[in-house]
Structure 1
Amino acid sequence: MKEWLKTIQSRSNFDLDTLSLILSIVLIVLAIINPSIPLKHNIYNYVFVADISQSMNTIDMSVMNKPLTRLEHMKHSLHEIMSELPCGTKVSIGIFVGVSVSASYTPIENWGIICENFDAIEDTIDHLDWRSGWSGNSRIRESFFNLARLIRSFPENSQVVYFTDGEEAPKLHTFNTRDLGQFQGGNDWIIVGVGSLKGAPIPKLDGKNQLIGYWSSDSFGLQPGIAQISEANLGTRDNLVAGGESDRYISKLDEAYLKDITKQIDGIYVRGDSVLNILSAMKKQKPAWQDTADFHLKWFFASLAGIIFSLRFISIKHIKQYVIKRRK
């Protein structure tokens, strides 16, 4: 009887060793062949639009109790958002002023903190400056149409995260209010409101970024006569500087207005004082598109072969001893 058990055990060891060796060889061959299966995956492209108009120099935001301009707070938020984006996300930084949006570059890969283009994107954010503006006006509604055209010129579709305080300058009236009823392309755009509801005066700065006064309420007056219906010069700001507290124009986050135009374009509005809220809103956006890519199985087969080849060195005797001990 004992001889019979020894024979069975020796044959079992032989069969197990042979089987594991054959399986390991087969799996290694498969790893060399490197088969793949097609998998659909989401593609995320973002255009982060930064309002750099002069109202964004208003100091009514803060980070860790440190007063900041809306522009600096927006840049701080953008830095934090970039560090949270997953590898493979493509990013472009756009600049809004006047009626236009200009992209620094078409969306490029942002590989997070350790990846190739991260430093370039961070540097672009650091250099966002109101002095880069090519116009003294700020016409947000009009910019939506120009932004949609810009995105259509990209080689790949992109989602929008648009930072602004909602300050239309000159103020809207019958002649300069663009109808958004026929607007197409704003689905899932995120409009981020930057600024406080209390507001503060808009500083007037020189070319060296030195304070020389504050914008007056008269600076937002309409040009008389024919200029009111001129598409090119529709109510520009003048160059007045407020002399006293009562003359200063108080700029506030126009949240009601931003919510209204966001609704008109079927977008998503979020307050910009919380990066978590912005990231949460971004998760609600649909991906730019879906693509099919080959998922290669080389490492799966190679790893499985290594595991099986290692297990063959565990003898049946050791397993039986472990089972006997457990029964006791």
Structure 2
Amino acid sequence: MLQARLKPYLHREILLPLLALLLLLAAACKPTIPVPHNIYSTMLVIDISQSMNTKGMSWRGDDISRLEYTKHIAHDLVASMPCGNRVSLAFFSGLSVAALYTPIEVCANYAAIQDTIARIEWRQAWAGNTRLREGVDSLARLLRTMPEPTQAILFTDGEEAPRLHAFNTRDLSDFQKDGDWLLVGIGSKEPHPIPKFDENNKLLGYWSAENFVLQPGVAQISQQNLGTRDKGTAVSENDRYQSTLDEEYLLKLSEEIGATYVNGDSLEDVKSAMHELKPSRRDFAPMQIDWLLAIVAGTLVLVSYTPQRLKKLFKRVLYRKAVN
């Protein structure tokens, strides 16, 4: 008797759309299911020294600085990370690397991470000069303090300022790092002058060639005076120091510290190299299935109506043939 009462409501044209509605309501709740996959913990280390203000990079037809280009790359890398992965942001300046925070989950903190990237600028630097070889040692020590194994991606133009000589080149033969490292070369191979700004971000001029030469008579015996150099600006256009991406040096440095190097000109190449890094661990992470429920709901609606429409269309064709 109950079956006879329900029979009118069990017709496919009623039942399937009803099921589709229930699935859409479930999809609106954004359900997730636990899925096992690799969990990556990545620290994006961005060189914010003044050489990163150098123009010569192109993004969607615009000529931008190395630092602005790095921000675009970092933004897209974070956007491509699946939920469950963790990311940290850190700055390199002078001799050291400083993390803004330990690795945090990408999706839950997506807006905060992207807002931090958008606000990066060179005035956040705490020291002048650029001692990249000292910086990689600082980065290695920093990574050891992270709560879980963390891979490092360092964005830099490879500019050592002042230039390296026998007495100011750190020996990295006993260097020890944790996890995988990726060095991303940022900069044009065409020479461009390095702009010099004041604390209000006003252009004062350009760094001269003398700025990258150690001051004579200064003993390089301590961290305080390591790399002391002239701070003036170029007096003429011919006197400007012309900076390029030092890819040869970055390749050599990568080999010394057991890292991988990739040129940052191609976003896809950087993404591919990032995906080659070893995961920190394997764990369960939530995967949203709202899109899957919506697809099933749409399929049910089509299935419920399409056969009837085809049937009516077939009858019309037969009727016209009979009339004719």
Common fold by TM > 0.5:
yes
Matched, 1:160 2:152: yes
User: Match for 1:54 among 47, 50, 57?
Assistant: 50
Taking a change above 3 Å as real, the CA distance of residues 88 and 61 of structure 1, as seen in their structure-2 partners, is same
Matched residue, 1:129: 121
Tell me if the contact between 1:180 and 1:264 (Cα under 8 Å) persists in the aligned partners: yes
Q: Distance in 1 between matches of 2:165 and 2:190?
A: 24
Partner of 2:168: 176
Deviation, structure 1 residue 270: 0.5
Query: Which residue number in structure 2 is paired with residue 191 of structure 1?
Result: 183
Superposition RMSD on alpha carbons, in Å?
2.1
Matched, 1:117 2:96: no
Match of 1:64?
Answer: 60
Q: Which residue of 2 aligns with 1:211?
A: 203
- 1:86 paired residue number: 82
TM-score, normalising length: structure 1: 0.74
Query: Structure 2-normalised TM-score?
Result: 0.75
Partner of residue 20, structure 1: none
Secondary structure of 1:240 counterpart: coil
| Distance apart, 1:202 and its partner CA | 0.3
- 1:28-87 per-residue CA deviation (whole Å, 9 max, x = no partner) reads xxxxxxxxxx99742200000000000000001011220000000000111111111111
1:244 to 2:236 alignment: yes
The number of residues matched between the two structures is: 255
How far apart, in 2, do the equivalents of 1:256 and 1:290 lie? Answer: 36
How far residue 187 of structure 1 moved from its aligned partner, in angstroms, is 5.1
Partner of 2:104: 108
Render the CA deviation track for 1:181-230: whole Å, top value 9, x for unaligned.
11111653100000011120000111221211001111112122243333
The answer to whether the 8 A contact 1:219-1:240 is kept is: yes
| CA displacement 1:115-144 (0-9 Å, x = unmatched) | x21110011101111101111111111111
**Unaligned 5+ runs, structure 2:** 1-33, 290-324
Partner of 1:234: 226
Compared with structure 1, are the counterparts of its residues 289 and 219 closer, same or farther at alpha carbon in structure 2 (3 Å cutoff)?
same
- What residue is the counterpart of 2:23 in the other structure? none
Counterparts of 2:161 and 2:52, CA distance in 1: 12
Shift in alpha-carbon separation, 1:294–1:241, aligned structure 2, 3 A? closer
Report how far residue 177 of structure 1 moved. 1.0
Match of 2:199, SS?
coil
Residue aligning to 1:285: 277
State the match for 1:257 in structure 2: 249
User: Kindly tell me: are residues 294 and 68 of structure 1, through their superposed partners in 2, closer, same or farther at Cα, counting changes over 3 Å?
Assistant: closer
State the secondary structure of the residue aligned to 1:225.
coil
Contact preservation (8 Å) 1:186, 1:267: no
CA separation in 2, counterparts of 1:60 and 1:246?
A: 18
Gaps of 5+ in 1: 1-37, 300-328
CA pair 294-76 structure 1, distance change in 2 beyond 3 A: closer
| Higher radius of gyration, 1 or 2 | 1
* Contact 2:149 2:179 survives alignment (8 Å): no
Cα distance, 1:282 vs. partner?
0.9
Q: Is the 8 A contact 1:187 1:266 kept in 2?
A: no
Matches within 5 A, 1:5-84: 41-84=37-80
